[in-house]
Amino acid sequence: MTIATFALGCFWGVEARFRQVKGVVSTRVGYTAGHTENPDYKAVCTGMTGYAEAIEISFDPEIISYDGLLEVFWDIHNPTTLNRQGPDVGTQYRSAIFYHDEQQRNIALLSKQQLSDKNRYPNPIVTEITAASHFYPAEEYHQCYLEKKGLGSCH
C-alpha cells in the first residue's frame, strides 16, 4: 500500500468522496502541517495552530495511481481560493498536497502545472505542495463522519 495526504477543505465530505474511489484501501482524517503537538479539533478551528484539516489515504497503486488520486483531488474542490472552501474559511481549510517522496512531489508539481496551463480556472491555483509532516488523526467521531450520520455530503 502507498500513502497520499491531501488538504482540501472540511475533511468530512473529502473523506466520503475518496472512500468511493476504487483502489482506496482506507482513509483517516486528521491534522497536518501545524506547529503544536497533539492538536484537537477545537484548537485547529481557532486557526492558531497552523494545521490543515487533511485526509490520509492508503491506496493500492496497482488499482489507482497517484495521478488518479490527484485527478479526484483537483475535481472535488476549488484550488484557487486561499484558505477557503465553500462556506468554510480559515487556514485549516487550505488546499495542499503533502508528498511522501520525490516521485509524489514531481507528479504533484507536474499535475498542478498542467492544470494551470489548461486555464481551467479564472484565477491562479493556490494549492501548496510541501513535504508531508506528522499526521495527527482526528478524534474518532470525525472518522467516516458523514457515513455514521447517514449523509451523502456536507452541503
pLDDT given at position 155 = 56
The model's pLDDT over 52-74, given as tens digits with 9 standing for 90+, comes to 999 999 999 999 999 999 999 99
| Better-predicted residue by pLDDT, 111 or 151 | 111
* Structural domain of 90: 2-149
- Report pLDDT digits (tens) over 115-150: 999 998 899 999 999 999 999 999 999 898 778 877
pTM of the model: 0.95
pLDDT in tens, 10-42: 998 999 999 999 999 999 999 999 999 999 999
Q: Work out how many domains the chain is built from and give that number.
A: 1
Residue 155 lies in a domain: no
Is residue 132, in this structure, part of any structural domain at all?
yes
Domain harbouring 68, CATH code = 3.30.1060.10
Whether residue 32 is contained in a domain is answered as yes
CA distance 74 to 128: 13
User: Is residue 80 a contact partner of residue 119, using CB atoms and an 8 Å limit?
Assistant: no
User: CB count, 10 Å around CB of 141?
Assistant: 10
Active site residue 10: yes
Structure confidence at residue 86 (pLDDT): 87
Domain annotation covers residue 110: yes
With cut-offs at 50, 70 and 90, classify the pLDDT of residue 151.
confident
Rounded distance, CA 101 to CA 112, Å? 17
Per the structure block, which three cell numbers stand in for 27?
482513509
* Whole-number Å distance between alpha carbons of 119 and 103: 25
User: Contact at 8 Å (CB) between 79 and 127?
Assistant: yes
The verdict on residue 154 lying in a domain is no
Question: Does the structure show a pLDDT above 70 at 84?
Answer: yes
Residue bearing cell 472518522:
143
User: Is residue 87, in this structure, part of any structural domain at all?
Assistant: yes
User: Which residue among 10, 45, 144, 154 is the active-site one?
Assistant: 10
The confidence score (pLDDT) of residue 153 equals 65
